[in-house]
Amino acid sequence: MEVKRKEQRDMNTKRIILKDRENPDSEQLKEPAKILREGGLVAFPTETVYGLGANALNEEAAKKIYEAKGRPSDNPLIAHIADFNDLLPLVTKVPEAGRKLMEAFWPGPLTLIFPKSSLVPYGTTGGLDTVAVRMPADPAASALIRLAGVPIAAPSANTSGRPSPTTADHVWQDMNGKIQMIVDGGAVGIGVESTIIDVSGEEPMILRPGAVTQEMASAVLGKEICLDPAIISGPLKADVKPKAPGMKYKHYAPKADLTLIEGETDAVVLAINKLAEEKLEAGYRVGVICTDETSDLYPGGIIRSIGSRLKEESVAHNLYAVLREFDDLDADYIFSESFSRSHLGQAIMNRLTKAAGYHIIKVDREEQEE
């Protein structure tokens, strides 16, 4: 499939600042809703990350998303809806597992994959017979989608290959001149993309971990839900067909060489300091991704806390902003602490390990032998 990577910035991008994201003023949202309805592109905040919206039922509009992001056109888009009634026209079937998960987590940070109806163009689904649907909880996103009156395809509003945007400024850096409008609602809440669960097959399966965790979904379904093997094992081999087509593309990689150090915290701090010192002595710009609990323990390098270990939501919230900052600072090497791989930690580690190109150093002997 054709990949358009030509940098085109020939549009005058308007930016509107929401007066109240919790209670959006429909007068303010009339213009972006009209742009969306008429086939244009508008970036807007959701509770996960900023989305780059277009009419999901209009193939030409979906095409513009791929152009603005430089995204391969067989990497499908998620259709965002405002009400439960909006789902039925898009799908041919709502399997039992899908119904249970929707009832438990919609509106919220959960995307479900259903068999698609003929209403949804292949230009939105990357040629697949399934469609990914989410009902965002963010009041501004919800009001905008409802006003537009059509389902809105909205991938993350970043240039393909950059970290997802969690503020309107991030969107501006990537999309200024390429889209009609940015709706600025300040920083998003969660900070990592939605959980994706495929309910179109025999067994539901998590294709991307997010804030609706494996534990939460399993509890609702009454049995352990599996993760797609690619999430656990890392990069796909050429002959494996990925369930989420996005998995086969090169994921975001920071400009710097990022390494995760995993193990017991004291040992991790020691190891990072040793690695950082070596690189600093060799004259490199070195970044350290640490936590509020450990930030005093690093004497050298550019030290950034990603959040508190006691509050994993804060780590998810800051993750992409910290990675963007290190890109802007032109770091050569980044050494990062690691997190648990359960609950929200699963989503955090999924994004961090991908960003590190699966380069992980284990310093905890016991864990290594397990």
For Mg ion, the binding residues (CB under 5 A) are: 156
| Residue 130 touches which of Mg ion, ligand AMP, none (Cβ within 5-8 Å per kind) | ligand AMP
Nearer to Mg ion, 142 or 156 (CB): 156
Shortest reach from residue 156's CB to ligand AMP, in Å? 4
Nearer to ligand AMP, 41 or 275 (CB): 41
Partner from Mg ion, ligand AMP, none contacting 131, C-beta within 5 to 8 A by type: ligand AMP
Task: Give CA–CA dist 234/216, Å, rounded.
Answer: 23
Sign of CA dihedral 143, 146, 150, 151: positive
Residue with Cβ nearer ligand AMP (45 or 246): 246
Helices (H) and strands (E) in the chain, counts: 12, 16
Q: Which amino acid is at 44?
A: F
Nearer CB in complex with ligand AMP: 46/338: 46
Kindly state the smallest distance separating residue 155's Cβ from Mg ion, in Å.
5
Q: How many C-beta atoms surround the C-beta of residue 159 within 10 A?
A: 19
In the complex, residue closest to Mg ion by CB: 156
* Separation between Cα atoms, residue 335 and residue 317, nearest integer Å: 19
Rounded CA-CA distance 96/199 in Å is 9
CB-nearer residue toward Mg ion: 48 or 338:
48
Nearer of residues 132 and 145 to ligand AMP, judged by Cβ: 132
- Residue whose CB is nearest to ligand AMP in the complex, by number: 246
Cα(37)–Cα(34) distance, rounded to whole angstroms? 5
- With respect to ligand AMP, which residue has the nearer C-beta, 89 or 300? 89
Nearer to Mg ion, 124 or 156 (CB): 156
Q: How far is the CB of 281 from ligand AMP (least distance, A)?
A: 39
For residue 113, the partner it binds in ligand AMP, Mg ion, none, with Cβ less than 5 to 8 A by kind, is ligand AMP
Q: How far is CA 77 from the centre of its chain?
A: 12
Least distance CB 131 / ligand AMP (angstroms): 6
CB of residue 160 vs ligand AMP: minimum separation in angstroms?
8
28's CB contacts (< 8 A; 6+ apart) are: 16, 18, 19
Q: Are the C-beta atoms of residues 275 and 360 closer than 8 Å to each other?
A: no
Q: Which of Mg ion, ligand AMP, none is residue 363 near (CB under 5 to 8 Å by kind)?
A: none
> Residue 180 binds which entry of ligand AMP, Mg ion, none, with Cβ cut-offs from 5 to 8 Å by kind?
none
Give which of 317, 288, 94 is closest to 190, Cα–Cα: 317
Minimum Å gap between C-beta 268 and ligand AMP is 30
Q: Mention every residue, 6+ apart, whose C-beta is less than 8 A from residue 174.
A: 157, 158, 159, 162, 165
Interaction partner, residue 139 (Mg ion, ligand AMP, none; CB < 5-8 Å by kind): none
Q: How far is the CB of 246 from Mg ion (least distance, A)?
A: 7
Strands in 205-208's sheet, in edge-to-edge order, are 14-17, 181-184, 42-44, 51-55, 152-153, 78-80, 130-134, 110-115, 195-198, 205-208, 226-227
Rounded to the nearest whole angstrom, what is the least distance from the CB of residue 320 to ligand AMP in the complex? 12
d(CA 238, CA 252): 19
Element (H, E) at 60: helix 59-69
Residues that bind ligand AMP in the complex, under the rule CB under 6 A: 75-78, 113, 125, 128, 130-132, 155-156, 193, 196, 207, 243-246
CB of 276 to Mg ion, least distance (A): 30
Backbone φ and ψ of 368, nearest 5°: -65, -35
Task: Measure the CA dihedral 168/171/172/174, to 10°.
Answer: 170
Q: Which does 132 bind (CB under 5 to 8 A by kind): Mg ion, ligand AMP, none?
A: ligand AMP
Nearer to ligand AMP, 46 or 180 (CB): 46
